[in-house]
């Protein structure tokens, strides 16, 4: 892992994505009900996949 940029490590990017998705899912499960809960859980699933990908693009400098 690079000390200059910890996001250069794929494991760190994946962990960031999982933590943010976990937070969204926790809020959905604790505070929401019905259809909106399912929608927010879907957003959490998409977040778990897209956050590491987008961070990787940002680190690589590709568009």
| Predicted confidence (pLDDT) at residue 13 exceeds the cutoff of 90 | yes
CA dist list (Å): 58 to 25, 35, 43, 52: 25, 33, 21, 10
Rounded to an integer, the average pLDDT of 24-50 is 98
User: What pLDDT was estimated at residue 60?
Assistant: 85
Closest by CA position to 41, among listed 50, 49, 29, 51: 29
User: What pLDDT was estimated at residue 63?
Assistant: 64
Rounded to an integer, the average pLDDT of 38-54 is 97
């Amino acid at each position: 892992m690079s000390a200059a940029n910890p996001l250069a490590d794929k494991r760190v990017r994946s962990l960031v994505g999982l933590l943010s998705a976990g937070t969204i899912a926790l809020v959905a499960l604790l505070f929401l009900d019905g259809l909106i809960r399912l929608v927010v859980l879907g957003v959490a699933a998409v977040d778990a996949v897209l956050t590491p990908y987008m961070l990787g693009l940002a680190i690589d400098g590709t568009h």
